[in-house]
Structure 1
Amino acid sequence: MPTITFGMIAKNEEKFLPACLESVKDIVDEIIVVDTGSTDKTVQIAESYGAKVIHHKWQLNMSKARDEYIKAATKEWILSLDADERFAKQDVPKIKSIIEQHPNVMGFFFVKRDYGFAGVKRSSDDPYEESQPFDCWMEVREIRLFKNDKRLHYTHHVHTNLIPSIQKLKGVVADVDGLPIHHFRQQLTSEQKAAKRKLYLQMLEMEVIENPTDPSAYGHLAVEYGPQDPNSIKNYEKAVELIKKNKESGKNPWSYHFAIVGQLGMIYMEQKKLDKAKELFKLAAELNSTNPQDYSSLGEIEYFQKDYKNAHAHFIKARDLGHKNSAYINARLNALSKELGLNQIYF
C-alpha cells in the first residue's frame, strides 16, 4: 500500500483543527503541521495527533510555508488540507486505492466544496451529512494529493498552486470524482474581513512586484480588489495582455489563465462593452475549447447583436459540451431556430 504524509499550514486554528485531523488520521502515515505563529492551542492539538510541528516565521507568502511540509515529508505521497477542510468519513478509505489505480500520475485534482457560496445546488440525494446545513456551494478543483518529489514546490503568495511546478516536470494530473473536500469557511466579523482583505492585497501586490510577467499574479490581485474597483479592471487587463503574449510565443497556459480571460469578459458584458467581451470569450475558447460557458457567452452577445447564425452555432457548441443550464440553452436555441427559419425544436 502507498504511504502518505499529511501536510498543512496553520495559525490559530484550534476551532477547526481537531475535525480536520480526525478525518485523515486513519489513512495517513505521517502528519506535519507548519505553524506560522499560533497563540492558541493549535500546536498542542497537532501534537496530540502525533504531528511533527514545524515553526515557520511568517513571510507574507503561503507558498513558502507550504513548501516546508514538502521538504520535511518522508512518505511516498503528500495529502494536504487546510484546517477548516475535511473529508467525509465514508470517503477516506478510498484515497489509497485511488493512488494504486493511477501508478503513473504525479498528482490528483479533488473537487472542493466551498460551503456558503452560491453555485451548485444540493440535490435531495446528496450522500454527505456535511452538506446538509447548506442549500448550495461553489466547487473548485485543486491538487491536494501528489507524489513526494522534492522538485515540486508551490507558487503564488495567497492562492497557492502546484500546477506550474508539475507542468515543468511534464507530470500527469488526474481528476478524482465523487470524493469531495468539504470546506467550512470561518464566519468573520466585518472588521476581520477588512483586515484579511488588507493583508491579502498586501501579499498580492508584493507578488506582482516579484513576478511582473506572471498573468496569474495580476489575476489574483484583480479578484481580490473586486469587479467594481478600477484597480480590478487594470489588473485583469494586464493579465490578459500577458496571456496573449504567452500564446504568441507558444507558451502553454494553465487552467486559471482561461478563467482570467472569461472573468474579464463577464465584467465587460455587465458594462455593455460587448465587442470587448466578445473578443475575450473568443480568446478563452481558443485557449480552452472545452468550456461551455465561453461558448454560451459568445452566443448571448451574438444573439443580442442579431448575429443569429453564429449565435446558434455557439449555443449548439455549449449544449454539446454539457452546459449545466440546459433549460436556458434550449430556450435560446428555440428562439434562434425561429429567427433562422429552422424547423427544429430543442428540449
Structure 2
Amino acid sequence: MIVRDEAENLPSCLNSVKAAVDEMVVLDTGSTDETVAIAQSFGAQVHHFDWCDDFSAARNAALQHVTGDWVLVLDADERLETGIVPQLKQVMQLNTCLVVNLVRQEIGATQSPYSLVSRLFRRHPKIQFLRPYHAMVDDSVAAILQREPQWQVVELPDVAILHEGYQAGAIASRDKLQKARMTMERFLVKHPGDPYVCSKLGALYVQIDKVSYGIELLERGLKSAQVDPPIGYELHYHLGIAYSRLQHLDQAGMYYQLAIQQPILPRLKLGAYNNLGNLRKATGDLTGAKAVYEQALRVDPSFTMGHYNLGMTLKAMGQLGEAIAQYQQAIQLNPNYAEAYQNLGVTLLKLGKVAESLAAFERAIALHQQHDPTEAQRLRQGLQEMGFQV
C-alpha cells in the first residue's frame, strides 16, 4: 500500500486482509494524521517516501520492501472481499500464473459498478509499476510475456475488492481532475499513440466538456496497433458518451454496441448496456430499450440502475404492474433511491392506489431533502397542486 492521511479508511482496509496475508507493507508519503500509528497497530511494516508526483515511483518503492512470493496491492479506500480468499489461494498455486486480474466493485457507482484491476501478481524481478498517474504493472507484464511466454494472466470473475472511492463526497475534486489532466498530458507528449492514456485522458476531456478534444484522443487510441479488449471497451464506451453529448445519437449507439461486443467479462459492460438502453428509450424505441436493460440484468441481477430504468421503460409502455415490481426491486437493492420511490409513487397513483402512492412520495421527499432540497420542494408543491398534503 501507499498511503497519506488515511486514518479514517485504513483500519477497515487492513482488517480485511490481516487474516489472509503474511506481511503488510505500508509506504507513507507524508501523513500528518494517525495513519502511521494505525498501520503499526495492525503489525504493518511502515516505510517513508518523499512524494514526487509519481504514483509509479511510490508503488515501486513499496515493492522493494516486499519479501513474499505474491503481492496484493490495495488502496486505503479499498477492502478485500474475504469470501474470495480461497479462490485467490487456489489460483496462486498454478505454476504458470503470473498475474491475477481481480474484479473491483465501485461502491456507490450507479453507472459502471465494476472494474478489472491487475492487483495480485507474483513477485517477478521484472514486474514494476509504470505510468505516473494510473500506476499499474500491465506494461511490464506485457514485456515479460513476450520474453517468457510460459506465463499466463488469469481473471477471476467474482468480486474481490470493494472500493469506497465513489461514495458521495469522495469523487475527485476539480483540483484533482486538473492534476490528473496535467500528469496525463505530460505522459502523452512522450507516448502520443498510447491507447490507455488516450482512453483515460480522452474520457477526462469529455467529462470537463472539452468533447472535441476527447473524441480526437479516443479515436486516436482506437488506431493503435495494440488495443487490448478492456481498453477497447473503454475507448468505445467513452466515444459513445462523447457523441451522446453532441446529440449524434446514431454514432453514440454504434459505439455502445461496439463496446458491448468487446471480449471482456460481461459485468464490466454494464455502463454500455445502460447507456444504450437510455439512448433507445430517449429516441422512442421502448422495445429495444427494454431488451437492453433485461440483458444487463441477466448479467447482474443486482444492477440497481438497471431495475430502475427497466421500470421507467415499462411505465412508458403502459405495463404498470411490471414497472412497480422493478421500482420495488431497485429500492430493495438501494433503500435510499429517491427517484425510484418518486416514480413508484407516480405509477401507484395511476393505478388508483392513493395511500400507497402518498407513502412512496413521502419517502421520496424525505430522501430528496437530504441531497436535493429543491427537488423535494418541487415534488411537494406538485402534489399540493393536485390536492395532496405530504
Q: Give the TM-score normalised by the residue count of structure 2.
A: 0.62
Q: Whole-Å Cα distance in 2 between the matches of residues 175 and 62 of structure 1?
A: 24
Aligned to 2:244: 269
Contact 2:127–2:140, Cα closer than 8 Å, also in 1: yes
Matched, 1:111 2:103: yes
Shift of 1:284: 4.8
Q: Whole-Å Cα distance in 2 between the matches of residues 299 and 226 of structure 1?
A: 20
Contact 1:108–1:146, Cα closer than 8 Å, also in 2: yes
Shift of 1:319: 6.0
Aligned to 2:330: none
Contact 2:27–2:48, Cα closer than 8 Å, also in 1: yes
Matches within 5 A, 1:1-80: 8-80=1-73
State the identity %: 27
Aligned to 2:223: 244
Matched, 1:201 2:201: no
Q: Note the residue ranges of structure 2 that are not aligned, 5 or more in a row.
A: 146-150, 301-305, 318-390
Matched, 1:141 2:133: no
Matched, 1:235 2:227: no
- Distance of aligned partners of 1:72 and 1:270 in 2 relative to their CA distance in 1, 3 Å threshold: same
Aligned to 2:381: none
- Distance of aligned partners of 1:146 and 1:264 in 2 relative to their CA distance in 1, 3 Å threshold: same
Higher relative CO (Cα under 8 Å, sequence separation at least 6) belongs to 1
Q: Note the residue ranges of structure 1 that are not aligned, 5 or more in a row.
A: 1-7, 121-137, 306-310, 336-347
- Distance of aligned partners of 1:263 and 1:323 in 2 relative to their CA distance in 1, 3 Å threshold: farther
Query: Higher helix share goes to which structure?
Result: 2
Shift of 1:189: 8.1
Matches within 5 A, 1:64-213: 64-92=57-85, 94-100=87-93, 102-119=94-111, 138-170=113-145, 171-185=151-165, 188=169, 193-213=173-193
Q: What's the CA shift string for 1:297-319, capped at 9, x where partnerless?
A: 889989999xxxxx99xx89x96
Q: Whole-Å Cα distance in 2 between the matches of residues 235 and 270 of structure 1?
A: 11
Q: What's the CA shift string for 1:240-274, capped at 9, x where partnerless?
A: 2242142xxxx353412321122112321343324
Q: Whole-Å Cα distance in 1 between the matches of residues 18 and 276 of structure 2?
A: 47
Aligned to 2:198: 218
- Distance of aligned partners of 1:142 and 1:199 in 2 relative to their CA distance in 1, 3 Å threshold: same
Q: Whole-Å Cα distance in 2 between the matches of residues 270 and 23 of structure 1?
A: 40
Shift of 1:23: 1.5
Secondary structure of residue in 1 paired with 2:110:
strand
Contact 2:106–2:162, Cα closer than 8 Å, also in 1: yes
Shift of 1:283: 6.0
Q: Whole-Å Cα distance in 2 between the matches of residues 189 and 111 of structure 1?
A: 20
Secondary structure of residue in 1 paired with 2:183:
helix
- Distance of aligned partners of 1:323 and 1:88 in 2 relative to their CA distance in 1, 3 Å threshold: closer
Question: RMSD between aligned alpha carbons?
Answer: 3.9
Shift of 1:57: 2.0
Shift of 1:143: 1.6
Q: What's the CA shift string for 1:103-124, capped at 9, x where partnerless?
A: 321111222121122148xxxx
Secondary structure of residue in 2 paired with 1:111:
strand
Secondary structure of residue in 2 paired with 1:13:
coil
Q: Whole-Å Cα distance in 2 between the matches of residues 272 and 98 of structure 1?
A: 46
Secondary structure of residue in 1 paired with 2:95:
coil
Q: What's the CA shift string for 1:150-202, capped at 9, x where partnerless?
A: 21122333333322322222242222243431222375489x82332232223
Q: Give the TM-score normalised by the residue count of structure 1.
A: 0.69
Q: Whole-Å Cα distance in 1 between the matches of residues 265 and 70 of structure 2?
A: 30
- Distance of aligned partners of 1:108 and 1:267 in 2 relative to their CA distance in 1, 3 Å threshold: same
Contact 1:88–1:182, Cα closer than 8 Å, also in 2: yes
Greater Cα offset, 212-221 or 170-179: 170-179
Q: Whole-Å Cα distance in 2 between the matches of residues 265 and 223 of structure 1?
A: 11
- Distance of aligned partners of 1:295 and 1:79 in 2 relative to their CA distance in 1, 3 Å threshold: closer
Tell me the amino acid that sits aligned with residue 141 of structure 2.
I
- Distance of aligned partners of 1:297 and 1:183 in 2 relative to their CA distance in 1, 3 Å threshold: closer
